[in-house]
Structure 1
Amino acid sequence: MTREDRDKGKSNKLHSYYDYNLLFLTIFLVCFGLVMVYSTSSYNAARETGNPAFYLEKQGAFAIFGVVVMLIVSKIDYRIYKHKLPVLKIRPIIALYFVCILLQIAVLIFAKEINGSKRWLSLGPLGTFQPSELSKVGIILFTAYVVSLAPKKLDKFTGFIRILILVLPLIGLVLSQNFSTALVMGLIMVAICFVASRKKLYFFVSGGLLAGLGSIFIFFVSYRSERIEVWKNVETHPKGYQILQGLYAIASGRIFGKGLGESMQKLGFIPESHNDMIFAVICEELGLFGAVAVILLFVLIIWRLFVIAVNAPDLFGGLIATGVLTHIAAQVLINVAVVTNTIPSTGIPLPFISYGGSSLLVLLAEMGIVLSVSNQIKYER
């Protein structure tokens, strides 16, 4: 064998791929989120606790732990989740699904009501945990696993109904307390099934039926139907205060904003501005330029997730990446639409940026799983 043949053989050797672009984009967004959490919460934190960095410290702890979890998970072969473990004699995906169901039942029984909602379980000195965030991971992995077992069955409407029946217990439990999160979970399930199916027509019919069912949960529940009235009359309705102040913040930011930390609306005008309304403060401090830059960062992340989904080594990996893509895209669209009063108000955080340890930790774990999928992609140099 000549030297040229040996070099050719080496060049054709398959190498593992790892999406460092997605990793760096994720870490950058997390760091940006920490900056904005401190900027939006420091005034209220100092007034309430005497420590301006109170919320930053809590979010920073979850961010560090979440990044470590993401890096560890990214090095674990994602296919191990669908195989039976020798010790437990059960597939991790199935175990996670039933754990999510048990946690949602625990929420109904043990959760304390906060701001009119029962969504959090107390962890004592560690704070609170929102099980519905973990349920999003459960839906992604469980739906991807079930669909990958027999994808051809989705060519018929009965195949889609079968998937819907399997995931309905978890989505139904979440729906009983949190419509917006259940909506995101439903979108994730439908997106995974849509990608795997070769027949698309019945999805539009079922989409109309699900939209009609969803409208029942909106218009026939008093506090949800009231949000429609708030949305239509945000300037005059007594409960339109938060959204109206958010619109003032967006308008006052203009093109380049007032400068980081210079927001006026965060000084008690927007209640808990470091949570779901953080995008309004971004617009006020960084202007239209900063808002567009943030949206473009999310577009880049969604693009990298799409690339991984298309090039995944198997259907299971591709569907996982599709589920995570749908999760992030849906939350970004809903959050920005709510803040700009494009749709009625609902409690969906801005991924990686809004304050919330449970949401951040789960999102980073999801990114770790997708990076694991990318790590199994083989390519020739």
Structure 2
Amino acid sequence: MALDRAERSAKLKKVHSYYDYSLLFLTLFLVCFGLVMIYSTSSYTAQTKNLAPTHFLEKQGIAAILGVVAMIFVSKIDYRIYIKKLPVIKIKLVTLLYIFCSFLQIYVLIFGDVINGKKRWIDLGPLGSFQPSELSKVGTILFVSYIITLAPRQLDKIKGFFRVAVYMAPLLGLIAKENLSTGIVIAGIMFVMCFVASKKKAYFFWVVGILVTAIVGFIIIEPYRIGRIDIWLNVETNENGFQILQGLYAIASGGIFGTGLGESMQKLGFIPESYNDMIFTILCEELGLFGAVAIILLFILLIWRLFIIAISAPDLFGGLISVGVLTHIAIQVILNIAVVTNSIPSTGIPLPFISYGGTSVAILLVEMGIVLSVSNQIKYER
């Protein structure tokens, strides 16, 4: 009798696939909020350039729509396909992506468009410009996850970390040469993924020292980077500290509840291109401390959902992908807010989902799609 009841109970239990709708809705909300803030911060600038007030909103909106479609599509694909060999060329998709990202970084160093003195973009004609370093972040997350899963126990010793670093060195070096801030983000992603996968943590203190030394080296070889440190230390007296100083004025004038959406004064030419990396300052001015804290809490919730997926993933590869995306978003949020509040020297790091940048938002949405794919492979009984 007891056996019959157990059999009936087993039949009633069905295994279901999980899909993290909380992560999906948080992502969509941040994207929509970003579009609202981009319109608020860019409409005046667009009109001064004889463009339609919605010019930047339309461009970002197109990229966001394409990114959402890609996110939904990618989320329905089994993420383990990235470590399977392609049928014709007999090479894993993740390796092919790494090679392609390296090729794009070489191409942009030679033939890339120079914008604001930086050669970081590839001109795609009517489609606008494309920033390869954003795609390289996805390539890094997938490739490092794959390399670690080949021999995860090697990371218990420092030579295991160097093994991963050697594989990543060509791509990381190409990126850091022209874009140190993105190089720091990618190095941080690699470091955290290796740290999480390793059972022995002590040697990572030495690794931090090595990474800091490398970053200092990249700063020293470029005089303008040293200049940014001087701006940071003397923001009130240095003539190049105008943008950061105006950003601090914007944050201060916002008070607790802000001046109201669309009512910022600092975006009226005082903060150049306030819809880019400095958008958080206008957010603070228009929505105040309350709005700033609310957005930070939303990012914390997003990171929490990514953490839950990481610890619940069906295998190490899926868990590391989630950790990589979590690290990517966390680093960019921390660095962006630290820069605009003058807590660290200025560096070009956008605020995820909110700052203007079609490549950035589209690639971020693809990353979220990959994590949703990981969540879709989590099984539970009901």
Question: Which band: TM-score by shorter chain?
Answer: over 0.9
Deviations 1:302-350, CA, capped at 9 Å, x for gaps: 0000000000000000000000000000000000000000000000000
Q: Distance in 2 between matches of 1:52 and 1:342?
A: 33
Q: SS at the partner of 1:158?
A: helix
Q: Distance in 1 between matches of 2:51 and 2:311?
A: 50
Cα shift at 1:87: 2.8
Q: Distance in 2 between matches of 1:8 and 1:58?
A: 55
Q: SS at the partner of 2:380?
A: strand
Alignment-derived partner of residue 164 in structure 2: 163
Q: SS at the partner of 1:246?
A: helix
Measured on the aligned residues, the alpha-carbon RMSD in Å equals 1.2
Alignment-derived partner of residue 122 in structure 1: 123
Counterparts of 1:129-278 in structure 2, within 5 Å, are 129-278=130-279
Deviations 1:171-211, CA, capped at 9 Å, x for gaps: 00001100000000000001111111111111111111211
Counterparts of 1:101-116 in structure 2, within 5 Å, are 101-116=102-117
Q: Distance in 2 between matches of 1:57 and 1:197?
A: 45
Give the structure-2-normalised TM-score: 0.98
| Contact 1:234 1:244 (C-alpha < 8 Å) held by counterparts | yes
Cα shift at 1:6: 6.2
| Contact 1:77 1:372 (C-alpha < 8 Å) held by counterparts | yes
Q: Distance in 1 between matches of 2:54 and 2:132?
A: 26
Counterparts of 1:353-368 in structure 2, within 5 Å, are 353-368=354-369
Q: Distance in 1 between matches of 2:207 and 2:58?
A: 45
Q: Distance in 2 between matches of 1:209 and 1:64?
A: 41
Deviations 1:27-79, CA, capped at 9 Å, x for gaps: 00000000000000001112213300000000000011100000000000000
Cα–Cα, structure 1 residues 14 and 47, in superposed 2: closer, same or farther, change >3 Å? same
Q: Distance in 2 between matches of 1:213 and 1:123?
A: 33
Cα shift at 1:218: 1.5
Q: SS at the partner of 1:350?
A: coil
1:377 aligns with 2:378: yes
Cα shift at 1:213: 1.9
Q: SS at the partner of 2:345?
A: coil
Cα–Cα, structure 1 residues 353 and 3, in superposed 2: closer, same or farther, change >3 Å? farther
| Contact 1:283 1:290 (C-alpha < 8 Å) held by counterparts | yes
Cα shift at 1:4: 5.5
Cα shift at 1:10: 4.1
Cα shift at 1:220: 3.7
Q: SS at the partner of 2:273?
A: coil
Q: Distance in 2 between matches of 1:192 and 1:7?
A: 44
| Contact 1:41 1:274 (C-alpha < 8 Å) held by counterparts | yes
| Contact 1:11 1:380 (C-alpha < 8 Å) held by counterparts | no
Identical positions, percent = 66
Alignment-derived partner of residue 42 in structure 2: 41
Q: Distance in 2 between matches of 1:158 and 1:214?
A: 21
Q: Distance in 1 between matches of 2:5 and 2:68?
A: 44
Alignment-derived partner of residue 62 in structure 1: 63
| Contact 1:254 1:284 (C-alpha < 8 Å) held by counterparts | yes
Q: SS at the partner of 1:176?
A: helix
Structure 1 stretches of 4+ moved >3 Å: 1-7
Q: SS at the partner of 1:191?
A: helix
Residue type at the aligned position of 1:374: S
Q: Distance in 2 between matches of 1:10 and 1:331?
A: 47
Alignment-derived partner of residue 51 in structure 1: 52
Q: Distance in 1 between matches of 2:75 and 2:323?
A: 17
Q: SS at the partner of 1:15?
A: strand
Q: Distance in 1 between matches of 2:197 and 2:36?
A: 39
Give the structure-1-normalised TM-score: 0.98
1:331 aligns with 2:332: yes
Residue type at the aligned position of 2:109: L
